Amino acid sequence: MKKVLTYGTFDLLHWGHINLLKRAKDLGDHLTVAISTDEFNAIKNKKSYHSFENRKLILESIRYVDEVIPEDNWDQKISDVVDNNIDIFVMGDDWKGKFDFLKDYCEVIYLPRTVGISTTKIKDDLLSVKNG
Ligand code: C2G
């Protein structure tokens, strides 16, 4: 069984996230998603609209996702890969090169980001509608 692993906040889930998760799952047989805790988001200077619990619930409902684990620090990736017997690590290419150190432990693939959508864009667009 080929196991795939990816990381993210996945707030205000949108089709760019789904495109990433689908392509990640298509690379193997099992997809684990490490979702950033609210505390880790603070370290990433990200404020989620949905709580960790609710973002986890949403992710667990996606057909491409087999398992969801918490991401609470920058330094857990090697142990996550080893402890979960991961074959392929996947991230959007906005992270290209940042996780190449994992190549000693698994295949590392950066997938093209989906253009035209982001959680930030959703927030900004809604704000401009609200403000007229
Ligand atoms: N993504 C994408 N296309 C978009 C938006 C996001 O392919 N239009 C991808 C990102 O490249 C990432 C994943 O979806 O691989 C999750 O995006 P975020 O929730 O923004 O994740 P991020 O905050 O970048 O967290 O340790 C790694 C971090 O936790 C990554």
The string of pLDDT tens digits covering residues 29-81 is: 999 999 999 999 999 999 999 999 999 999 999 999 999 999 999 999 999 99
Q: Would you state the pLDDT for residue 71?
A: 98
Query: Which residue is closest in CA terms to ligand 1's atom 17?
Result: 8
Q: Would you state the pLDDT for residue 30?
A: 99
For the entire predicted model, the pTM comes to 0.97
pLDDT in tens, 99-132: 999 999 999 999 999 999 999 999 999 999 999 8
Q: Would you state the pLDDT for residue 53?
A: 98
Q: Would you state the pLDDT for residue 8?
A: 98
Q: Would you state the pLDDT for residue 42?
A: 97
Ligand 1 within 6 A of 91 CB? yes
Helix (H) or strand (E) holding 32: strand 30-36
Q: How far is CA 110 from CA 24, 62, 64, in A?
A: 10, 21, 18
Structural tokens at position 68: 């969801």
Our answer to whether residue 123 is catalytic in this structure is no
* Residue 31, number of CB atoms within 10 A of its CB: 23
pLDDT in tens, 2-37: 999 999 999 999 999 999 999 999 999 999 999 999
Quote the ligand 1 centre to 45 CA distance (angstroms).
14
